[in-house]
Amino acid sequence: MKPGFSRRRILGNLAGTLGAIATFAVAKKAKAAVQKVLVTSDAPKGYDPHQHQWLMAIDVDRCIGCGHCVEACKRENHVPEEPWYFRTWIERYVITKPAPGSAQSRGEVFVFSPNGGMRKPGEGQPKEPPVDLPPKEEVQHSFFVPKLCNLCHHSPCAQVCPVGATFDAPDGTVLVDPKYCIGCGFCIQACPYGCRFLNPITKTAEKCTLCYHRITRGLKPACVEVCPTQARIFGDMKQAAPDDPIRQFFQNHRVQCLKPHLGTEPRVLYAGLDKEVR
Amino acid sequence: MRPFRMPPQILRLVLLTVGIVTSYLIARFFLTPASFGELGWFRANALMEIASAKPVYAGKKACDECHSEEYQKLSQAEHKSLSCEACHGPGAEHADNPDIHKMTILTFSHCVRCHEADPSRPKWHKQINPKTHYPGQVCTECHVPHQPNEVP
Amino acid sequence: MTNTVTNIVVEMIPHFEGYVYPNEATQQPLWSILIVLYPYITGLVAGAFIMASLVRVFNVKALEPVYRLSMLTAFAFLLCAPLPLLFHLGHPERCYEVMITPHLTSPMAIFGFVYAWYLMAVLLLELWFDYRRDLVRWADTTPGFRGLLYRLFTVGVTDLSEPAIRLDATIGHVLSVVGIPSAFLLHGYVGFIFGSVKANPWWGNVLMPIIFIMSAMVSGIALCVFNYMVLSWVRRRTVDMRCLDVMGMFLFYALVVDAAIEALDWVHRVYSAEEGFQLMQYMAREKLFYTLNLGQALLGTLVPLVLLGGLQLIRKRFSELVRRRLYFVSALLILVGVLAMRWNVVIGGQLFSKSLRGVMSYKMEFAGLEGWFMGGVLLALPFVVLTVLITLFLSEKLPSAGHPEPKPAPV
């Protein structure tokens, strides 16, 4: 044996190390418990995610494109005003009549979403950037489509997150954990509906949370709250009675989803869509 | 039969490997956040952390507590589907401290936002062209926002 | 439009034509030049390693002179590979999460493990077993800090007996064999990151990992040619023409396979003309014109194919000098072409909207974490690291025992 090494010393060192590890482990559990108490003091009490299955549905025929929802969402969730980031937005579709004499069924399709469709008070249509709408006589169909996270059954965004920062919550929402997200942007690339963005201030991914902090307190999402025409229908599929608006919606409307060929099985369904809507 | 002697390269490398793997496992134990994996591959605490943000909009029922008169009027006519905050703006601060945080009383500019004629708006929605529909006058001279079927 | 967050007035007019989703109308694509460089660098690593393993696994003796240089090249570039990723993350201080809670459904999650495996279990180990004899010798004879480094690298193992040397050779051989699929995994998963994104029709197809691996091999071999010729020129030594000819041959055939698969991708897209094809065609024509047609296709593929193919067919006609020039030019063109290919894949996929109705622009800045300057620094850094490694391990001043042979050479 080399001088300086003795069996006793080695065993002592080993025991010391194991003891330190055990102490740290206990301390870690204690810290976690304290953290949980402190953080959740503001959270709604007694909310069990397994008791709910939140869902939003869109009635395209009822949307008047006022942009109240876009503004309310930005205010409610402190989304950066500029540059153009939106958790929800409105798209305007304008389909013109076919040129006279042509054998086409439809003319051209134009899609706009100036400033996400958000109109400032005092504005009719957003002025910036200027939008050239075709004149009224040339229009065959024109409508607004609200867009948001499609709450996919098989979320491609949650599938590709490398660390588990974005996930399908048990209550039907798809959330981002802002304390854990590393800001790689893979989920933003993977979302086929363009509903995610990288928040330039927090440098984490962000998206519609169905106003999680509201629905867990029995409130409605901000966009649903301010919609003047009930174009957005919100409900809890686990607890909705047959006369609940969301059940009535599915009872009364035939519905479509966006990009069905991708297999994401979006749960947000639209009534009154057109083939041109992506 | 020569007794098997572990070649020195292998021994050192095996020790190094064991050391690296052990440190990784220990680090993983300490660095995995609390509540991770309880509900799925994420921090279960995140749900409540996200839910603990303070609402900015109070919700229509909150207005009924103090403003039941206007609330009743609203439910009589076409604007019954509207939320107070759609026109008056976010109200959670006002609901908590009505004297300190005041809400806005609105003028003409707000009506135009929903009621300006737009070819993409559905036909059943009442729309006017602000340039030709009594230009220069304020909407509230002829319309009562809380009960549109009444005259002021 | 002003950005009130930083109190600096910044022109932020989004550049796009047609319709793009509002969240896509950003000045810079989300995955910028840094994410172009990362696949490029790991591709060079994988390719250089495959070339080195041609010596060990397939016994291509002609490539012996370039074996150690290829391994050191792979090592230098691998050390620098995580840097673009770190700089790109929104929260680089949280990067450890990918090793602690890797989400196994995500191709990006295996980065930590594949990188660690490749760095430690493949590259470092193979280098160590190859260099062990020399390290022990140099540790004894070199004074000062450098000697300390060599002693450190020997990990305390100083056995230079016959059985030990033979064991070194055997293990080295095994590691080379294991290293080939590991290299494919190291770069293939990057291709799969793009190939798995079904939301993006430019990226999400099954050929993407194959294309990435093949172009990686091509770029790796080209880098070895380039490094070998530059090193020989710096040291004023003559290149081993046979080695260069064999490298050129492998480069040519790898390029043929790579070009064939990329052509297949292109032909399939044009033929099946799926949804979004017209938009992607417009995007490729307008936004990627120079990098695609000029950079990748013409300069990066066609010209080297002609040059290298010509050299294969009528090698005897060309003098050594002309052959050397042609190999060098081809290698350089291929290196530029593969970088252009990475650009076209990564940036191209972000220049059109997922609404399939609009295209965006990318105006690269000069300064900043995602600008030209940083890109240049990150490209130059591996060469700096390689220079240090060559000084330490491939120096002409230090006698080298050469590679351990499986059988002892006849005396």
Between A243 and C4, the more confident residue is A243
Whether the pLDDT of residue A83 is over 70: the answer is no
Contact C358, C18 (CB under 8 A): yes
CA dihedral (A47, A49, A53, A58) in degrees, to 10, reads 70
Residue type, A76: E
Identity of the residue in C96, C120, C155 whose CB atom sits nearest the CB atom of B12 = C155
Asked if A167 and B41 come within 8 Å (Cβ–Cβ), the reply is yes
Asked if A160 and C3 come within 8 Å (Cβ–Cβ), the reply is no
The pair of structure tokens assigned to B21 is 């793997």
Band of pLDDT at residue A39, cut at 50, 70 and 90: low
The string over C11-30, giving b where at least 16 C-beta atoms fall within 10 Å of a residue's C-beta and e elsewhere, is eeebebebbbbbbbbbbbbb
Name the closest residue on chain B to residue C95, using Cα atoms.
B31
User: What percent of chain B has a predicted confidence (pLDDT) above 90?
Assistant: 39
The string over C146-169, giving b where at least 16 C-beta atoms fall within 10 Å of a residue's C-beta and e elsewhere, is eeeebbebbbebeeeeeebbebbb
Contact B57, B85 (CB under 8 A): yes
**CB proximity list for A190: less than 8 A, separation 6 or greater:** A156, A157, A159, A160, C197, C199
User: CA-CA distance, B54 to B93, in Å (whole number)?
Assistant: 10
Whether the pLDDT of residue A125 is over 60: the answer is no
User: CA-CA distance, C216 to C41, in Å (whole number)?
Assistant: 9
Whether the pLDDT of residue B34 is over 60: the answer is yes
Angle subtended at Cα C300 by Cα C296 and Cα C303, rounded to the nearest 5 degrees: 130
pLDDT of A263: 95
Mean per-residue pLDDT for A97-110?
93
pTM of the predicted model as reported, rounded to 2 decimal places = 0.90
* Per-domain boundaries in chain A: 50-84+209-271
Within 8 A of A220 by CB-CB distance, chain B residues are 59
User: What percent of chain B has a predicted confidence (pLDDT) above 70?
Assistant: 95
Q: Which of A113-117, A272-276, C7-11 has the highest mean pLDDT?
A: A272-276
Please name the helix (run of DSSP H) or strand (run of DSSP E) that holds residue A176, with its range, or none.
strand A174-176
Question: What phi, psi does A93 have (nearest 5°)?
Answer: -110, 130
Which DSSP category does A267 fall into?
Answer: S
pLDDT of A114: 87
Residue that has been written with the tokens 């790109």 in this structure: C88
Within 8 A of B16 by CB-CB distance, chain C residues are 155
pLDDT of B7: 81
CA distances to B8, B96, B102, C243 from B66, in Å: 84, 12, 13, 90
pLDDT of A251: 96
Q: Which of B35, B48, B116, B127 to mutate to test the interface with A (most CBs of A within 10 A)?
A: B48
Q: What is the pLDDT along chain C (411 residues), one digit of tens a residue?
A: 333 334 333 444 557 889 999 999 888 899 999 999 999 999 999 999 999 999 889 989 999 999 999 999 999 999 999 999 999 999 999 999 999 999 999 999 999 999 999 999 999 999 999 999 899 888 888 888 888 888 888 888 788 888 888 888 899 999 999 999 999 999 999 999 999 999 999 999 999 999 999 999 999 999 999 999 999 999 999 999 999 999 999 999 999 999 999 999 999 999 999 999 999 999 999 889 998 988 889 999 999 999 999 999 887 788 889 999 999 999 999 999 999 999 999 999 999 999 999 999 888 888 888 888 999 999 999 999 999 999 999 888 877 765 544 433 333
Within 8 A of A169 by CB-CB distance, chain B residues are 39, 47
pLDDT of B152: 72
User: CA-CA distance, C127 to C130, in Å (whole number)?
Assistant: 5
Contact A66, B87 (CB under 8 A): no
Residue A200 in contact with partner chain C when CB distance is under 8 A: yes
User: CA-CA distance, A215 to A169, in Å (whole number)?
Assistant: 13
Name the closest residue on chain C to residue B37, using Cα atoms.
C101
The pair of structure tokens assigned to B85 is 């905050």
Of A135-149, B95-109, B115-129, C339-353, the one with minimum mean pLDDT is B95-109
Contact A206, A79 (CB under 8 A): yes
Residue A131 in contact with partner chain C when CB distance is under 8 A: no
User: What percent of chain C has a predicted confidence (pLDDT) above 70?
Assistant: 94
Residue that has been written with the tokens 């809507």 in this structure: A277
**CB proximity list for A104: less than 8 A, separation 6 or greater:** A98
The number of helix segments (H) and strand segments (E) in chain B equals 7, 0
User: CA-CA distance, B59 to A226, in Å (whole number)?
Assistant: 9
pLDDT of C407: 37
Within 8 A of C189 by CB-CB distance, chain A residues are none
Contact C322, C242 (CB under 8 A): no
Q: Tell me what ipTM this predicted complex has.
A: 0.89
> What architecture does CATH give domain A50-84+209-271?
2-Layer Sandwich (3.30)
Residue B8 in contact with partner chain C when CB distance is under 8 A: yes
Nearest C-alpha of chain C: how many angstroms from A187? Answer: 10
User: CA-CA distance, C376 to C365, in Å (whole number)?
Assistant: 12
User: CA-CA distance, B63 to B68, in Å (whole number)?
Assistant: 7
User: CA-CA distance, A159 to A166, in Å (whole number)?
Assistant: 9
Asked if B28 and C168 come within 8 Å (Cβ–Cβ), the reply is no
User: CA-CA distance, B127 to C147, in Å (whole number)?
Assistant: 86
pLDDT of A37: 63
Band of pLDDT at residue B102, cut at 50, 70 and 90: confident
Asked if C101 and B8 come within 8 Å (Cβ–Cβ), the reply is no
Cα atoms in the Cβ-side hemisphere of radius 13 Å centred on C127: 22
Mean per-residue pLDDT for A119-123?
63
Nearest C-alpha of chain A: how many angstroms from B120? Answer: 4
Asked if C353 and A163 come within 8 Å (Cβ–Cβ), the reply is no
Whether the pLDDT of residue B36 is over 90: the answer is yes
Asked if C157 and B16 come within 8 Å (Cβ–Cβ), the reply is no
Average pLDDT, chain B: 87
Asked if B53 and A31 come within 8 Å (Cβ–Cβ), the reply is no
pLDDT of C8: 38
User: CA-CA distance, C252 to C306, in Å (whole number)?
Assistant: 9
CA distances to A239, C71, C232 from C85, in Å: 45, 23, 33
Identity of the residue in C99, C120, C157 whose CB atom sits nearest the CB atom of B9 = C157
Asked if B27 and C100 come within 8 Å (Cβ–Cβ), the reply is yes
User: What strands lie across the sheet with A232-236, from one edge to the other?
Assistant: A232-236, A54-59, A269-271
pLDDT of A153: 93
State whether residue A155 is helix, strand or coil. Answer: coil
Asked if B121 and A164 come within 8 Å (Cβ–Cβ), the reply is no
Return the partners of chain A (3 or more C-beta pairs < 8 Å).
B, C
Burial of C68 (0-12, 13-18, 19+ CB in 10 A): buried
pLDDT of B135: 85
Partners of A236 in the beta sheet?
Answer: A54
Partners of C352 in the beta sheet?
Answer: C359
Name the closest residue on chain C to residue B9, using Cα atoms.
C157
Contact B106, B145 (CB under 8 A): yes
pLDDT of C4: 36
pLDDT of B88: 87
Contact C361, C15 (CB under 8 A): yes
Q: Would you tell me which residues 21-80 of chain B have a C-beta closer than 8 angstroms to some C-beta of chain A?
A: 26, 29-30, 33-36, 39-43, 45-57, 59-60, 79
Nearest C-alpha of chain C: how many angstroms from A112? Answer: 6
pLDDT of C408: 36
The pair of structure tokens assigned to C218 is 């091509």
**CB proximity list for B5: less than 8 A, separation 6 or greater:** none
Residue of C306, C315, C312 lying closest to C334 (CA atoms): C306
Within 8 A of A36 by CB-CB distance, chain B residues are 34-35, 45
Nearest C-alpha of chain C: how many angstroms from A215? Answer: 25
Based on its alpha-carbon atoms, the radius of gyration of chain A, rounded to whole angstroms, reads 25
Nearest C-alpha of chain B: how many angstroms from C138? Answer: 17
Sign of CA dihedral B108, B112, B114, B115: positive
The pair of structure tokens assigned to C313 is 């067919």
Whether the pLDDT of residue A104 is over 60: the answer is yes
Name the closest residue on chain B to residue A62, using Cα atoms.
B122
pLDDT of C411: 39
Whether the pLDDT of residue A63 is over 70: the answer is yes
The pair of structure tokens assigned to A133 is 């709408």
Name the closest residue on chain B to residue A208, using Cα atoms.
B50
pLDDT of C5: 39
User: CA-CA distance, A177 to C91, in Å (whole number)?
Assistant: 13
User: CA-CA distance, A219 to A47, in Å (whole number)?
Assistant: 13
User: CA-CA distance, C365 to A191, in Å (whole number)?
Assistant: 27
Identity of the residue in A82, A111, A189 whose CB atom sits nearest the CB atom of C30 = A189
pLDDT of B149: 80
Chain C residues whose C-beta sits inside 8 Å of any chain B C-beta: 96, 99-101, 103, 120, 125, 129, 132, 155-159, 163-164, 167-168, 171
Asked if A85 and C12 come within 8 Å (Cβ–Cβ), the reply is no
pLDDT of C155: 82
Which DSSP category does B137 fall into?
Answer: S
pLDDT of C2: 34
The pair of structure tokens assigned to A92 is 């305007």
User: CA-CA distance, A168 to C296, in Å (whole number)?
Assistant: 40
User: What percent of chain A has a predicted confidence (pLDDT) above 70?
Assistant: 90
